[in-house]
Amino acid sequence: MASEILLEVCIDSVASAVAAERGGARRVEVCSNLAEGGVTPSARLIAMVRKGITIAMHVLIRPRSGDFCYSADEFEVMKRDIVLAKQLGANGVALGVLDEQGRVDVPRTRELAELARPLSVTFNRAFDTTADLAAALEDVVRAGADRVLTSGGKATADEGVDVIARLVKQSAGRLGILACGTVRAENVAGIVERTGVHEVHARLDSAVADGEDRGAVVRVGAVAGFLHAAVNPRALPQR
């Protein structure tokens, strides 16, 4: 059943959020500047998305693009953005902080996670840039996050599927593994089946040439088709 697989759709507009919900997604992650990997969205966008949907809304907390080692000022911005996201009705936040050695910054991450409560906390793809994913997973657990967003340290979930499966086993229910990385209708069933994840993250948008929604927008049919593929045994790869 589709309800067994939670689909989180990454969005950067109200129209995309509404389409994601209509298509059957159970959560959106609100971001801006997706072309740069995503940064914290504006308060206006967060508020309008919250007004437009009833499903869970998570907000990306990332003060800039680039690496995930933040200055004291940037860290303060993250804290203020978390407080604002809570005030605007977010159900969760996605964040990631690394230290100067490129490891999970446990004290700072824990501080942000505690500030975010009772919201849900996802450790973002800063995780995939660490040198030792097994050690990073234990650090994320110690920091108090609820889940980690990962493609197994690879460019795509297909390439990282074996690593994701090992992370699911290692996590042993202590936190969730949210699979991402070019997850599409044609490969999602295989990724779910081979890794054992219960949550997947995708964009599922397409280009719009004209009209109000210029750029890219999530399509209702794309989300519905994705969820169908996720639970359709015929979509599984032949062995």
**Average pLDDT per run of 10 along the chain, which is 239 residues long?**
77 94 95 90 98 98 96 98 98 98 98 98 97 98 98 97 98 97 93 96 74 67 85 46
Half-sphere exposure of 107 (CA within 13 A, CB side): 1
Asked whether the beta carbons of 71 and 103 are under 8 A apart, the reply is no
Per CATH, is 2-232 categorized as 3.90.550.10? no
pLDDT the model gives residue 37: 85
Give the CA dihedral 30, 55, 179, 147, nearest 10 degrees.
90
Taking the model in full, what pTM does it have? 0.91
218, 219, 181: which is closest to 200 by C-alpha?
181
CA 7 to chain centre: 10
End-to-end CA gap in the chain: 23
Main-chain dihedrals φ then ψ at residue 29, nearest 5 degrees: -110, 115
Helices 14-23 & 220-230 angle (0-180, nearest 10) = 40
d(CA 166, CA 50): 35
Antiparallel, parallel or unpaired: β 205-208 and 215-218: antiparallel
pLDDT the model gives residue 236: 41
pLDDT the model gives residue 176: 97
- Which residues, other chains included, contact 224 with Cβ-Cβ below 8 Å and sequence gap of 6+? 23, 24
Return the domain boundaries, the chain.
2-232
- Which residues, other chains included, contact 22 with Cβ-Cβ below 8 Å and sequence gap of 6+? 220, 223
Instruction: Name the helix (H) or strand (E) containing 92.
Output: strand 92-95
pLDDT the model gives residue 3: 45
Asked whether the beta carbons of 5 and 227 are under 8 A apart, the reply is yes
Half-sphere exposure of 182 (CA within 13 A, CB side): 10
